[in-house]
Amino acid sequence: MSVGGLRKQKVTMSIGVRKSVMETPQQTSGLETRPWTKEEDQKLFACKSKNRHLSWPEIAMLTELERSRKRCRERWEKHLEDKH
């Protein structure tokens, strides 16, 4: 069940009681939104600078940042591309 971008999921607690929990799409995909570190920026910048011909899914895999292709592309376009 989806409520305003959140998905409601039944979770069985350790004592066997079922409880509804609201999760964001990032949490359900295993990719939580968190601030970018300088190391991540440097890794993304170096990878994209050397591999401009690759697609964003390929860049996301190469960097091994545990960030989605969308997050990598957005970070590049909004924060890193001008530095190149």
Cα–Cα distance between 54 and 71 in angstroms, integer? 16
Q: From its phi and psi, is residue 60 left (phi > 0), alpha (psi between -120 and 50) or beta?
A: alpha
Q: Please check whether residues 49 and 23 belong to one and the same domain.
A: no
Q: Please check whether residues 45 and 79 belong to one and the same domain.
A: yes
Structurally, the chain folds into a number of domains equal to: 2
pLDDT greater than 90 at residue 31: no
Q: Please check whether residues 49 and 26 belong to one and the same domain.
A: no
SS3 69: helix
Q: Tell me, what's the pLDDT at 27?
A: 47
Q: Please check whether residues 46 and 78 belong to one and the same domain.
A: yes
Among the listed residues 15, 17, 20, the one whose alpha carbon sits nearest the alpha carbon of residue 1: 20
Q: pLDDT per residue over 40-49, tens digit each? A: 999 999 999 9
Q: Tell me, what's the pLDDT at 82?
A: 80
Q: Please check whether residues 57 and 75 belong to one and the same domain.
A: yes
The reported pTM is: 0.60
Q: Please check whether residues 25 and 50 belong to one and the same domain.
A: no
Domain range for 26 is 1-31
